[in-house]
Amino acid sequence: MLENPLEVDPTVDAIFKVCSGIFWSVTYLLILRRGIVDKSYGMPVVALCANLSWEFIFSFIHPHSTPQLYIDYAWLALDVGILVQYLKYGRKDFPEHLPVTLFYPTFLLTLLLSFLFILLLSREFNDLNGVYAAFSQNLLMSILFIQLLLKRNSPRGQSLYIALCKMIGTVFPSVLLYLYFPDSYFLVLLYVGIFIFDMTYLLLLYFKIKAAGLSPWARV
């Protein structure tokens, strides 16, 4: 449970939240663009379901204060676009040993479980700002991006700019939350873990794009 936060200048708080909002929004926009170009989806489905759930919960059920609330709205709208791409292109990555008729039920079950997990976790630990859920699912997302890259064995749906913007967009709230809760060692573990996996993903993606005979920095 996060209690007794230290004081942080409101201007610093707003700047860090807006910067995070910008970089994560750019991440989503780049995923959408890459999805259009590659005719694919760029976010692992479990991460997508977790994002949609978190953004809905903290937009409408336990709404954040501004400016984070408006950022949540923007993220939710962009993730709905990524959802459309997943529903359109996701069948090609669905396990071959399962009937394709399970594609939609599997997605709906994943979305429901993600929603309940984030909602109940936040209430159980009285974390109605969704901090634990946000960084936990961010770490999960970092790992899942690596898994998606290795599974596809290609940079389809991905670019270095997506990886960089995700990493930078996470650094801002990591620093901000550290200013508020410097003694939360669990959160520090999450910050460090996310950064390590994001750097690993960035390097793996760079070499995978190079191996495909493409220019990593020319692929937007």
- Confirm whether 5 is domain-assigned: no
The pLDDT value recorded for residue 88 is 96
- Position 51 confidence tier, pLDDT thresholds 50, 70, 90: very high
**82-120 core/surface letters (b: 16 or more CB in 10 A; e: else):** bbebbeebbeebeeeeeeeeebeeebeebbeebbebbbe
- Confirm whether 145 is domain-assigned: yes
131-183 per-position pLDDT tens digit: 999 999 999 999 999 999 999 999 999 999 999 999 999 999 999 999 999 99
Phi first, then psi: give them for residue 166, nearest 5 degrees: -60, -45
The pLDDT value recorded for residue 2 is 86
189-209 per-position pLDDT tens digit: 999 999 999 999 999 999 999
Q: How many domains does the chain have?
A: 1
Q: Which domain holds residue 97?
A: 10-211
Residue 69 and residue 102: Cα distance in Å, rounded? 35
- Confirm whether 146 is domain-assigned: yes
Q: What is the pTM of this model?
A: 0.95
39: left (phi over 0), alpha (psi -120 to 50) or beta: left
Q: Nearest-CA neighbor of 204 among 168, 169, 158?
A: 158
- Confirm whether 186 is domain-assigned: yes
pLDDT of 1 above 80: no
89-120 per-position pLDDT tens digit: 999 889 888 899 999 999 999 999 999 999 99
